[in-house]
Amino acid sequence: MKYEGWPDAGELVVGEVDEIADFGVFVDLEEYEDKRGLVHKSEVASGWIKDVTDHVSTGERVVAKVLDVDEDARQIDLSLKAVNDHQRTETIQRWKNDRKAETWLELAFGEELEDDVYTTVANAFLEAFGSLYEGFEEAAIHGEEALEDTDLDAEWIEAIVETARENVSVPYVTVTGY
C-alpha cells in the first residue's frame, strides 16, 4: 500500500536502492508515493567506508530508519546502520504481508479495483485492525462477524470473507497436556 504524504522521523521504511553515488545511496521508498530518500555515506554502515558498493548494490531492497524529513526541500534523510537485524526482519515481513493483502483485495474485488473502493476498504481495515493483512486474517478466522464494526457494505464484506477463507493460512497452535 503506497501512502501519500511523508514518512515520520524515526519510522522504519522499506526501499530499493536505485542509485549509488560517492557521497551516499539514493533509496526509492516502496511504501510512499513518489518518495526518494538519501542514505549519506556515514549512515550506510558502522565504521569507515571506503566504497559504498561494498555494502549495498543497485536494486537491493533495504530497510532504513528515517532520520529527518524536510518537506520544503523535498528531502528525506535515511540511515541503514541504525536498523538492527530484528527490526529489519520484522519490517520486511510486515511489508510482505501488506503486499499479500493488496493482492487479496484485488482478488476480492477484481483486478479493475477502483481507487475509491480500495481507499474505503483500506481505511476501514487500518482503523479496525491496524493493517490490511490483520483485517484479512480476522475475516478468515471469524468471518462476517469480524467486519461488523466497519462501515463496509454487506456485499463487500462477503467478498472479503470469501477471499480471506480461500487464501489466508490461519496461524493456530495445538496444546496438549496431561
Contact 26, 37 (CB under 8 A): yes
Indicate the pLDDT class of residue 2, thresholds 50, 70 and 90. low
* Per-residue model confidence as pLDDT tens digits over 95-135: 999 899 989 988 888 877 777 888 888 888 888 888 889 99
Residue whose C-alpha cell is 478468515: 140
pTM value surpassing 0.85: no
Apex CA 130: angle with CA 66 and CA 118, to 5°?
A: 95
Q: For residue 140, which amino acid is it?
A: A
Average pLDDT over residues 30-43: 91
Contact 40, 77 (CB under 8 A): yes
